[in-house]
A and B are shown apart, each in its own frame.
Chain A
């Protein structure tokens, strides 16, 4: 996936107002043979998946014993279809794929979690934006509008077997398709002909940042726990145990933890990853992602700051290459799409 096909801003706007087409085949796709895998997977995930209904998808984290985040993943219950029995699927970050495969092998009972890494045999495309569904519908065999957010269905796309999901990473409505690798190119061509704008990694980052979605390697890493990251909604500690649950139960309400915040700047200089966040001249944290928001027409960032300085409205500064640029803590997300129907 290239950083950009034409211009990051043009691709960003096309996704916010029309439909952006993303090749996200780099994401890891780990397929488990049958639903017996849900119980052992449950012990590796911060959210319950044993009760995952057919066609449902759940955002979850994989944590270490100390609660540090190994990856953020989507767990799918792929429903039974003509060509397959019902089974779980994990979509994991590209950079963490090998680590997670090894983790699953090391932390489950021998033979309990057989998985097939389908990442290179399949391709994954995302169509995102207010026009994504109407643009996709003519080539997808199942009706998309009735599908709820975070559900999936087996379908034909241009006659190719596909798994279609109502998911995305842009803050827009849309869908993602998993197809055989060879089917990706004809589907891509057809969607571009239908009016989708090819969109690269650059705008994927500006889009997800406006939507305040964390990115592994930036907001999330092994030294960060889900509560600090503002992902408490992705941790279910009620009546279950999983790797990391004991540590997470302890830190759940720890006021000494830093907090993930959103920052808006008044100037034009862009805060980048690693820049220091200051409060009255004292360092209080670090930027994890920053960009120039095409929607807000100003620089924005996410970062971690001390709990005491995390309140919305707090005036801070960001050290942008030696100059303290005024900024303030704002509510996340930076951008929320207008509700349609």
Chain B
């Protein structure tokens, strides 16, 4: 199942934006199904600590497969307010439910920096089709 308002970064992270009770924008971040399929055979993921301030485009963590390691980039700017605990023990979740149980972190936005760079699903799919060639 896909969350509403799904937006994609060029670097294959997805973002779902939702306001919290106080009206602040909360971004849930994950990795796209396309990227996970290309990685296959995941062995390790490293996520940031709660409370970390990140800027759009900064490294958020890393994901490693038998084949190679890839950085995970933050598509947004703000504070990491929630980290998906236990995900590293259940890496198969990423592949089986990338847009649901495979979420990585939630970030409380401190600015809208980076948001305008994000693509809708159609534009992202076009990018993936081009990368597959």
Contacts and interface: CB of A to CB of B under 8 A. Distances in A.
A, B co-complexed: yes
Interface of A: 3-4, 7-9, 202, 206, 267-270, 272, 291-292, 294, 299, 321
Contacts of A8: 40-41, 66-67
A202 B67 contact: yes
A31 to B, nearest CB: 35
Which of the four size classes fits the interface of chain B? 10 to 19
19 contacts: A4-B40, A7-B40, A7-B41, A8-B41, A8-B66, A9-B40, A9-B66, A206-B66, A267-B44, A268-B43, A268-B64, A269-B44, A269-B64, A269-B69, A270-B66, A272-B69, A291-B66, A292-B64, A321-B62
Interface string B59-71: 0001010110100
A206 B69 CA distance: 16
B66 A202 contact: yes
Question: Which of B43, B44, B64, B88 has the most CB atoms of chain A within a 10 A radius of its CB?
Answer: B43
B8 to A, nearest CB: 24
Contacts of A291: 66
Nearest to B88: A268
Contacts, number: 38
Contact of B66 (A267, A269, A294, A321): A294
Contacts of B88: 268
A269 B43 CA distance: 8
Question: Which of A202, A270, A291 has the most CB atoms of chain B within a 10 A radius of its CB?
Answer: A270
Q: Lowest 8 A-B CB distances belong to which pairs?
A: A268-B44, A292-B43, A9-B41, A8-B66, A292-B66, A8-B41, A7-B40, A269-B44
B69 A270 contact: yes
A245 to B, nearest CB: 40
A272 B69 CA distance: 10
Contacts of B44: 267-270
A269 B62 CA distance: 10
A299 B44 CA distance: 10
Contacts of B67: 3-4, 8, 202
B121 to A, nearest CB: 26
Contacts of B41: 7-9, 292
A299 B64 CA distance: 11
Nearest to B46: A269
Given A8-B41, A269-B69, 14 more contacts: A4-B40, A7-B40, A9-B40, A9-B41, A206-B66, A267-B44, A268-B43, A268-B88, A269-B44, A270-B43, A270-B66, A270-B69, A292-B66, A299-B43
Nearest to A291: B66
A189 to B, nearest CB: 25
A267 B62 CA distance: 14
Interface in B17-73: 40-41, 43-44, 62, 64, 66-67, 69
Nearest to B68: A272
B96 to A, nearest CB: 14
A293 to B, nearest CB: 9
A7 B40 CA distance: 6
Contacts of B66: 8-9, 202, 206, 270, 291-292, 294
A206 B88 CA distance: 22
A320 to B, nearest CB: 9
